[in-house]
């Protein structure tokens, strides 16, 4: 009965070129000996196993944000051969560009909605630049990979052409001795196996030419009885070695490895174990064929194992899909629901991707169901938060309306009516619900301040507070009138007086609200004197600090000092972060000229922030050591406020 094995045994030298090329690829870089095949098989087996085992996991790239897509692209480039990730990289690129365009469109609409001019809009390409850098690395690496292949294939082609010339010369020139002839012949065949892959466009002609001259060499050997016998004997040894290795493959634990190597042994049989003496030809072939049949029967074992694994994977993925269906079936999910399930969704997603392959007939259906469910969940979640955002915007409008009521009525002295009004709007405020987080604290603080302002007035409506404020007003008016006399003094005398008057002014206290403009008058008078005497900024800064220190000493208010220091520290941290961010942005100007306006603006911005940061650090270092319990202390402190700026009246 004729079989594929018989066909291979009886095939001519010009068999299918693709099979020949595959055989040569499997033999690349192997170092066989005449009697063993461990080294001969190593590279062939490794190549097949790598191609079978390397699997790029499926990913729902459309569900990832821009930053995660960049991370995925980097991981693919780092973890897998570049020639295997083309589909995944192209999918990532499509998803990234789509999401980036959508984000830019939203950003532009928001900019225009806030009153910005379209011509002045500047797109934010920083994250696009990061992705393009990763994708460029991928394209460069891929290009380099194919160039390396081309170079290696060209080198291998030159080797094979040289081997063909040597084979041709072997049977066309007189032989020196039988021993040297066979030594050269065996060397030529071994080098042919080791020569490696060549360009596909040349493979057909090159292999046909080689087998043509190989047949001619065998014809030449048959013409010489002694040569023929030696060739038969050597080839018989090769056959026995191949049979020995095939017998070992029968018990090879990895069925796939055994099948891969068996394929290579058949190629080797044809190319290095032909011909042999007539009495051994059929017997050795039948022996090899019988072993081959045993190995092929193990395919069923391999397929059954794969089938069991894939069935288990299918059940696992179907369970994941069922869990996702439960999530998406919830009709009225609230914020708490999404907060509690977002981690579970991510875990199910990761578990799906880490699970292996499923039976082919279920693969598309399973993947499609999973992907559709993720899409439905994301759509449902996004819709919920979009609607929630709309509700929060409505709440924001309601609270702003209440804030306006609180502002416009805080000075009302129709006490009974106003009191009921403020109680009502406070109750309404509590029942409105959440607003966008970025407005929440600011809005509440402003509303509370206005309400507190009214209630403070309400509590003090029968007190002598107004009398005290009127007294303070008279003191400040008297002090303000004295400023005119300073213009006649020397610069040093005037500076001392400015310092003295500023301390006295801040120590006086509040004035009636309708007279708070007196503080502006004082500020303007001080500024006028500073300009008149041309007092330097560093002197003014030092004087400001001294005034603030004196105010702290007089008030003996540790809490206020601590609060000011905390705010100053936060301001320094913010400045340091801004400087680092701006310095990082300089990488975008690596190819820009020094006179580039954007580059110069960035450099100037960095310098100004560094100067401000250094000033704050110096002030902070002085204030942190200030001891308010020591009335003789000379340490300086406090924030760098205007020397002529009094405390804010409320």
Question: 51-107, pLDDT tens digit by residue?
Answer: 445 677 777 787 788 898 999 899 988 888 988 888 888 989 988 998 888 888 888
The per-residue pLDDT for 555 is 62
Note the pTM of the prediction, 2 decimals. 0.38
**pLDDT classification of 26: cutoffs 50, 70, 90:** very low
Residue 552 pLDDT: 65
pLDDT confidence bin for 557, thresholds 50/70/90: low
Can you tell me the mean pLDDT for 272-287? 84
pLDDT higher at 260 or 634: 260
* Sign of the four-CA dihedral 602, 604, 609, 614: positive
Ramachandran area for residue 12 (φ above 0: left; ψ -120 to 50: alpha; else beta): beta
pLDDT at 561 (0 to 100) = 77
Lowest mean pLDDT among 40-54, 254-268, 575-589: 40-54
Residue 504: per-residue pLDDT? 81
Whether 354 and 58 have beta carbons less than 8 Å apart is answered as no
pLDDT digits (tens, 9 = 90+) for 175-219: 777 778 878 888 998 899 888 899 999 989 999 999 999 888 888
pLDDT tens per residue, range 566-600: 888 898 899 899 888 888 887 777 776 777 787 78
Mean pLDDT, residues 109-132 taken together: 83
Q: In the predicted model, what is the mean pLDDT of residues 271-298? A: 84
Distances (CA, A) of 261 to 25, 43, 254, 265: 13, 10, 11, 6
**Residue 558 scores a pLDDT above 60:** yes
Residue pair 499/551 in contact (Cβ under 8 Å)? The answer is no
Question: Checking phi first, is residue 556 left (phi over 0); if not, alpha (psi -120 to 50) or beta?
Answer: left
Question: What pLDDT is stored for residue 630 in this prediction?
Answer: 56
Tell me: pLDDT of 465 over 50.
yes
pLDDT value at position 199?
Answer: 92
Both structure tokens of 542: 């030092």
Separation of alpha carbons 497 and 373, rounded Å: 77
d(C-alpha 625, C-alpha 619), whole Å: 11
Question: Can you give the pLDDT at residue 52?
Answer: 47
pLDDT in tens, 354-378: 888 888 888 888 888 888 888 888 8
Q: What is the mean pLDDT of the chain?
A: 78
Instruction: For residues 485-500, give the mean pLDDT.
Output: 78
List all residues 6 or more positions away from 281 whose beta carbon is below 8 Å from its beta carbon.
275
Residue 379 or residue 32, greater confidence: 379
* 13 has pLDDT over 60: no
Q: Tokens 């026995």 label which residue?
A: 240
Secondary structure of 243-297 in the HEC alphabet?
Answer: HHHHHHHHCCCCHHHHHHHHHHHHHHHHHHCCCCCHHHHHHHHHHHHHHHHHHHH
């Amino acid at each position: 009965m004729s079989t594929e094995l018989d066909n291979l045994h009886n095939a001519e030298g010009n068999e299918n070129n693709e099979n020949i090329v595959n055989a040569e690829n499997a033999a690349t870089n192997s170092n066989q000996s005449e009697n063993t095949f461990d080294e001969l098989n190593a590279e062939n087996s490794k190549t097949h196993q790598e191609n079978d085992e390397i699997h790029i996991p499926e990913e729902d790239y459309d569900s990832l944000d821009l930053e995660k897509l960049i991370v995925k692209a980097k991981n693919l480039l780092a973890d897998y051969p570049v020639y295997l990730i083309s589909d995944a990289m192209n999918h990532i690129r499509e998803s990234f560009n789509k999401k980036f365009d959508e984000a830019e469109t939203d950003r532009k609409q928001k900019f225009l909605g806030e009153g910005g001019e379209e011509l002045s809009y500047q797109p934010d390409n920083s994250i696009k630049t990061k992705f393009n850098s990763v994708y460029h690395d991928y394209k460069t690496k891929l290009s380099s990979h194919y160039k390396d292949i081309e170079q290696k294939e060209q080198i291998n082609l030159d080797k094979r052409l040289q081997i063909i010339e040597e084979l041709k010369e072997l049977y066309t020139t007189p032989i020196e001795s039988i021993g040297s002839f066979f030594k050269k012949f065996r060397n030529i065949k071994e080098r042919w196996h080791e020569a490696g892959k060549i360009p596909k466009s040349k493979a057909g002609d090159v292999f046909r030419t080689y087998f043509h001259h190989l047949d001619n060499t065998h014809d030449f050997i048959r013409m010489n009885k002694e040569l023929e016998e030696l060739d038969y004997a050597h080839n018989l040894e090769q056959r026995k070695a191949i049979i020995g290795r095939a017998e070992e493959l029968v018990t090879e634990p990895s069925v796939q490895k055994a099948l891969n190597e068996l394929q290579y042994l058949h190629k080797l049989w044809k190319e290095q174990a032909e011909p042999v003496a007539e009495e051994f030809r059929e017997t050795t072939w039948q022996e090899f064929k019988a072993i081959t049949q045993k190995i092929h029967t193990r395919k069923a074992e391999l397929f059954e194992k794969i089938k069991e694994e894939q069935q288990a994977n299918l059940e696992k993925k179907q369970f994941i899909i069922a869990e996702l269906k439960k999530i998406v079936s919830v009709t009225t999910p609230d914020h708490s629901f999404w907060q509690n399930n977002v981690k579970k969704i991510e875990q199910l997603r990761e578990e799906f991707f880490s699970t292996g392959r499923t039976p082919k007939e279920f693969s598309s259906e399973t993947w499609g169901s999973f992907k559709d469910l993720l899409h439905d969940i994301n759509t449902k979640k996004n819709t919920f938060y979009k609607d929630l955002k709309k509700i929060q915007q409505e709440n924001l409008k309601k609270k702003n309306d209440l804030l306006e009521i609180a502002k416009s009525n805080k000075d009302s002295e129709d006490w009974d009516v106003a009191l009921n009004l403020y109680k009502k709007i406070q109750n309404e405020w509590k029942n409105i619900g959440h607003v966008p987080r970025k407005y929440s604290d600011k809005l509440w603080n402003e509303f509370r301040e206005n309400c507190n302002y009214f209630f403070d007035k309400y509590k003090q409506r029968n007190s002598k507070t107004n009398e005290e404020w009127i007294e303070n007003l008279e003191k400040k008016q008297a002090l303000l009138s004295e400023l005119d006399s300073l213009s006649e003094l020397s610069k040093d005398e005037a500076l001392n007086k400015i310092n003295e008057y500023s301390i006295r002014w801040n120590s006086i206290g509040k004035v009636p609200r309708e007279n708070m403009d007196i503080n502006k008058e004082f500020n303007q008078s001080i500024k006028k004197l500073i300009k008149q005497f041309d007092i330097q900024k560093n002197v003014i800064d030092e004087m400001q600090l001294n005034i603030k220190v004196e105010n702290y000493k007089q008030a003996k208010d540790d809490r206020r000092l601590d609060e000011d220091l905390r705010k100053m520290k936060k301001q320094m941290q913010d400045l340091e972060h801004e400087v680092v961010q701006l310095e990082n942005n300089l990488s975008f100007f690596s190819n820009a000229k020094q006179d580039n306006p954007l580059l110069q603006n960035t450099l100037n911005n960095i310098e100004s922030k560094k100067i401000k940061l250094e000033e704050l650090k110096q002030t902070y270092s002085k204030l942190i050591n200030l001891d308010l319990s020591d009335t003789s202390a000379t340490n300086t402190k406090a924030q760098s406020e205007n020397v002529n700026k009094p405390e804010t009246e409320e």
